[in-house]
Structure 1
Amino acid sequence: MFLARLPMTMNGVLLTLYVVTGLGRGYGAAGLVGAGVTLGMALGAPLLGRAFDKYGLRPIVAVCGTGTTAFWILAPHLPFEALAAVAVPAGMLSVPAGSLARQVLATLVPVEERRAAYSLDTISIEATFMIGPAAGIAAITAFSPTWTLSALGVLFGGTAFLIWLVNPPIRDAADLGVATARPPLRSWLTGRLVGTLMVAAGALFVLVGTELATLATLRAHGDIGVTGLVIAVMCAASITGGIVHGSVKRSLPQGVLMLLLALLVVPVGLAEQPWWLLTLVLIPTNLLCAPTLAATTETVSRLAPPRVRGEAMGLMDGFTRLGLAAGSPVVGFAIDHSSPAWGFAAAGIGGLVIASAGLVGLRRPRRPEPAPVPALAETPC
């Protein structure tokens, strides 16, 4: 899954650079295509998750891997209009490596150990973001955009084939025996689960907004050359937080982690100079990044019945991508009409607004769970 996520961390920056440099279009046009792919992923994730629940892993991965490979190999040969038109369906066919990894962990790892497992998974995501975008930029700089995008398609196809070949379990034998019929949507998509998904969207809004505000601040003060170092420190802080979260027996609740994540980023803009001070004040909020995402995944895996776990994880993927898609334009608007320092405040406040409905849902008393869930509820976690 680490290998499968690597090309996903490259595709956004490669698509932007190709549209701007290869097609001679502006960043707005590049953002339109990128938003189409992101929207397609958000819409496709729960549908693919439901297909995983119904048909299993191999047929869905085969179809998605073939479609994604074809898109990226053909992309450098398409005019802009055609590229924009196929962006959404191409995104819908992307192999949902994130939700698939979480399903596999929920199957292979006992409930009481899932905090550590999901923390490790989140640390793996941070590692891919430290490697993927930089490798993609280096490749498109050294080689032609056509070659680089085609190579990305081959990489997508290769990792999809590896997933198909290994065929990791997404539901164990006990799960298959407990739930032979699919439970109704209203029986498991409770206010508590929706609240958890809203928290996930709010967290990603904060994270993408923080990255955008950081980049804008460094650029405004002529420190763009240290961007890689600052982002590396942010990722290292998140990894450290994930290690601590996964190691302790009891961690902070998901709602508290989300509140701290958002509140700690609001005043960051007060220390925008020099760049090393900005880096230091970004560490506390990034320490909570991996724990917040890991706690969210753990909650979803606990609340969703095994028979619909794929769809539930797909919904989480969709909500996080919607948070990503909303964060960039909202925080960018705040920066354009004020200053980069206000971008940090917009990221924190916007994330709190999105997550507030989720936090209310998380505080509601739990309803009696549907039939398959008591077996999970009785297991200590």
Structure 2
Amino acid sequence: MHDKVMRAPLFWSVVGRLPLYLISVSMVVFTASRGLSYFSAGLLLSGYSLGGAVLAPFVARAVDKYGQPPVLLITGAVYPLALIGFVLADPEAVALQLACVVVAGAAMPPISGCIRSLWSAPGNTERVGLSLEAVLGEVFVIGGPLLFSLVLIWGSAGAALVVGAVLTSAGAIGFAMTRASRDRRVDTGTGKRDPLGALRSAALVRLLVLLLVAGLATGAYSIAVPAFVESHGSAGDIGLVFGVWGVGGILGGLWYGSRTFRQPAETVFAWGLLALSAASALVLVAWDNWSMSAALVVLGLLQAPVTALSYELISRTARAGYVTEAYTWAITVSVGGTAIGSQLGGLVLGAYGTWAPFLGAVVSMLLVATLAFGARRLFAEPAEPAKPTEATEPTEAATSPA
């Protein structure tokens, strides 16, 4: 498989993932527009997130066992139906709405894990592809809310939900029909699968712990940055400041993808996390929205390369036959860490002000950097291959990035 073959999957992955943040924003606005409380909106959004966080790794395990097309086609059909059912449900039927969003979260097509596993396959330019993934992550953060605003010009929040569901479905189905996805070989024999799956790799588990702790800082920022911006200006400035952060991430990802480092990936990863800790300290000492924007640009410039490096290490530490599941576990723990960080950040913000969650972010990043330096030797070794009795995927043996 060559990079030229990846053009079609890349296109459909962008189509399918662009609505990621549109869906969450639309769900909250749509629920409030129906006269329900923000408590109900939070409950529904939590159900949607929880459905994905709990079941996504098992959906990804099905991808590794049965191949990408069957799972993408099934989830590409169930996902929009569940969200459309949520839009059409009676506003008073909260239980029915909750069931619909939980099913939708669980059936979200595993496009991110699928394309990252393809980039990790031998024959592809893995480092460039995973750097591009880090850049696209920033694009989705900016593009999703912009797409939501665009749909609202002609329609409602409910219409935005339907548009997002249809785009996600189209992306999943289009991805499943590409040559790269169809040619991704799996052994569908009757060999017994390991119940622990990707989590049998000690190095991957250590990396997931790092991502969980790093997610605490992300969650703290998601609460504290809007509060800081509003207290030093107006709520209308929040989107602009977050957009600047995203632009910094895009530039950082593009820079990293064009560079070659002599040091091993695990060493660059550890030093990158230490640099992120320093950038977090810049956020802590910001005194107005201009200085906050400057600090977030620096944070974004460093964040995207570190994210790309984490993708490389996931590829290396994932066991053969469990690559998609490994990437999905990374998403799950990152989301979980962000959720915990948001809750803790909100608690200390209310009691002490914005400096408290910002300080917590600095401490979290210093802890992550320390753990990363201590785990360099573990990350340097490829994962133990799957046992011969397991269903493995020959084209996704764990690789050691240059």
Q: State TM-score, norm by structure 1.
A: 0.87
Is 2:221 the partner of 1:210? yes
Q: Which residue of 2 aligns with 1:310?
A: 324
The answer to whether the Cα contact below 8 Å between 1:265 and 1:285 also exists between their aligned partners in 2 is: yes
Distance in 1 (alpha carbons) for counterparts of 2:49 and 2:373: 25
- Relative distance call for 1:109 and 1:260 in structure 2 (3 A) is farther
- Relative distance call for 1:351 and 1:95 in structure 2 (3 A) is farther
- Relative distance call for 1:352 and 1:10 in structure 2 (3 A) is farther
* Counterpart code for 2:344: V
| Deviating more after overlay: 284-293 vs 205-214 | 205-214
* Counterpart code for 2:15: L
Q: Which residue of 2 aligns with 1:228?
A: 239
The number of residue pairs the alignment matches comes to 375
How much does 1:378 deviate?
Answer: 8.1
Is 2:283 the partner of 1:268? yes
The answer to whether the Cα contact below 8 Å between 2:132 and 2:257 also exists between their aligned partners in 1 is: yes
* Counterpart code for 2:163: A
Is 2:305 the partner of 1:291? yes
Is 2:172 the partner of 1:157? no
Is 2:360 the partner of 1:346? yes
CA-to-aligned-CA distance 1:26-66 (integer Å, 9 cap, x gap): 2x332222122112211122101110011111111121111
Q: Which residue of 2 aligns with 1:326?
A: 340
- Relative distance call for 1:141 and 1:222 in structure 2 (3 A) is farther
Structure 2: tracts of 5 or more residues without a match: 1-12, 388-395
Distance in 2 (alpha carbons) for counterparts of 1:167 and 1:216: 47
Q: Which residue of 1 aligns with 2:28?
A: 16
Q: Which residue of 1 aligns with 2:41?
A: 30
Structure 1: tracts of 5 or more residues without a match: none
Is 2:87 the partner of 1:73? no
CA-to-aligned-CA distance 1:87-122 (integer Å, 9 cap, x gap): 333211111222112111112654xx4222211111
* Counterpart code for 2:270: G
Q: Which residue of 1 aligns with 2:8?
A: none
Is 2:271 the partner of 1:259? no
Q: Within 5 A, what are the aligned runs for 1:176-187?
A: 182=193, 185=196
Q: Which residue of 1 aligns with 2:54?
A: 43
Distance in 1 (alpha carbons) for counterparts of 2:183 and 2:117: 8
More helix by percentage: 1
Q: Which residue of 1 aligns with 2:4?
A: none
* Counterpart code for 2:229: L
How much does 1:285 deviate?
Answer: 1.9
The answer to whether the Cα contact below 8 Å between 1:42 and 1:322 also exists between their aligned partners in 2 is: yes
Q: Which residue of 2 aligns with 1:219?
A: 230
The answer to whether the Cα contact below 8 Å between 1:107 and 1:169 also exists between their aligned partners in 2 is: no
Distance in 2 (alpha carbons) for counterparts of 1:221 and 1:371: 53
The answer to whether the Cα contact below 8 Å between 1:335 and 1:343 also exists between their aligned partners in 2 is: yes
The answer to whether the Cα contact below 8 Å between 2:212 and 2:333 also exists between their aligned partners in 1 is: yes
Distance in 1 (alpha carbons) for counterparts of 2:182 and 2:57: 15
* Counterpart code for 1:264: A
- Relative distance call for 1:335 and 1:49 in structure 2 (3 A) is same
CA RMSD of aligned residues (A): 3.1
| Deviating more after overlay: 1-10 vs 321-330 | 321-330
Distance in 2 (alpha carbons) for counterparts of 1:297 and 1:149: 30
Q: Which residue of 1 aligns with 2:391?
A: none
CA-to-aligned-CA distance 1:145-175 (integer Å, 9 cap, x gap): 33222222222222222122225338756x8
Is 2:19 the partner of 1:4? no
